[in-house]
A = this chain, B = another copy of it.
Amino acid sequence: MSMPDITTGKWHSLFNEAHCQTCSLSPLCLPLSLEFTDMDEFDAIIRRRAPLKKGETLFLQDATFTSLYAVRSGSLKQVTTEGSGEDQLTNFYLPSELVGLDGIDETRYPGTVIALETTTVCEIPFDRLEALSQDIPELRSQLFRTMSKELRDDRRMMRLLSRKSADQRLASFFVSLSERFRRRGYSPYSFRLSMSRADIGNYLGLAVETVSRILNRFQQQSLVAVSGREVHILDLDTLGCVAEERALDSPGVS
């Protein structure tokens, strides 16, 4: 839909020409607060990567940590396999978001990251980024802030997982997605889910069947219109209320 068309064959040139200075995402991405000259320096360490196709992995769990990745287009999921248990989907990544921050303190990435659709990323070698962050205080500061924000989001997720009902989880998910699309200049009301129901369930700690049923219920309540992976949000306000409301106050649920 709103993503550039991969089939034209113009990608490669487009993609070689790409620079932070001309990237529409730079106000959201790491170079956010950089001056032009600093941005040049930053841009110089970035490695553009060939696009990933749907289902391809950016890196595997336990691979040696070397780089962070900024998403340019498309989306990815991070999956952690631990012990005997099943996989846990810990994150979805959208354009301008930074992948790999949780790998810094170890030598390995703590999860596998997989493209959910055709996806392009910028590779940022971490040693060079760290060196550069010595000379550019804004860059360092921005890195700290990005990590801090991710910590904060994690805490929100913990609250969702430990206190919210299935309805509240789904509602939160849609509100959050809507907000993320809005910030990126896409419509907050109409978008296409790049992840399967199973992914959503795994991420939210719910069974696939539950996701399906609640989506159906939301549809009957005219909160959203869902057709396959196409989503139209009809009543964002109420959805926001559902997301935060205590299960008690919900009136005529019957």
Where the two chains meet, the residues of A that have a C-beta atom closer than 8 Å to any C-beta of B are: 80, 82-86, 88, 90, 101-106, 110-111, 130, 133-134, 137, 140-141, 143-152, 154-159, 161-164, 204-205, 244-246, 249
Cross-chain contact A84 with B147 (CB below 8 angstroms): no
Cross-chain contact A154 with B151 (CB below 8 angstroms): yes
Shortest beta-carbon contacts, A-B, top 10: A162-B205, A104-B148, A154-B154, A105-B145, A161-B161, A105-B148, A102-B151, A83-B244, A88-B159, A105-B149
Q: Return the contact of A148 from the options B103, B133, B205, B246 (Cβ within 8 A).
A: B103
How far in angstroms is the closest Cβ of chain B from A110?
5
**Closest B-chain residue to A144, C-beta based?**
B104
Q: Return the contact of A130 from the options B102, B141, B150, B151 (Cβ within 8 A).
A: B141
Q: Which residues of B contact A110 (CB under 8 A)?
A: 152, 155
Q: Return the contact of A102 from the options B103, B141, B148 (Cβ within 8 A).
A: B148
Cα(A164)–Cα(B245), bound, Å? 25
Cross-chain contact B162 with A245 (CB below 8 angstroms): no
Cross-chain contact B105 with A146 (CB below 8 angstroms): yes
How far in angstroms is the closest Cβ of chain B from A75?
19
Q: Interface majority SS on A: helix, strand, loop or mixed?
A: helix
How far in angstroms is the closest Cβ of chain B from A116?
19
**Closest B-chain residue to A206, C-beta based?**
B162
Cα(A109)–Cα(B188), bound, Å? 28
Q: Which residues of B contact A158 (CB under 8 A)?
A: 88, 90, 154, 157-158, 161
**Closest B-chain residue to A247, C-beta based?**
B85
Cross-chain contact B144 with A80 (CB below 8 angstroms): no
Q: Which residues of B contact A144 (CB under 8 A)?
A: 104-105, 130, 143, 147
Tell me whether A84 and B249 are in contact in the complex, defined as CB-CB below 8 angstroms, given that A137-B134, A161-B161, A161-B162 are known contacts.
yes
Cα(A204)–Cα(B163), bound, Å? 10
- Name 30 interchain pairs, CB-CB below 8 A, sorted by A: A80-B155, A80-B159, A83-B244, A84-B244, A85-B164, A85-B244, A85-B246, A86-B163, A88-B158, A88-B159, A90-B159, A103-B148, A104-B148, A105-B144, A105-B145, A105-B148, A105-B149, A106-B148, A110-B152, A130-B141, A134-B140, A140-B140, A144-B147, A150-B151, A151-B154, A154-B157, A157-B158, A158-B158, A161-B162, A162-B205
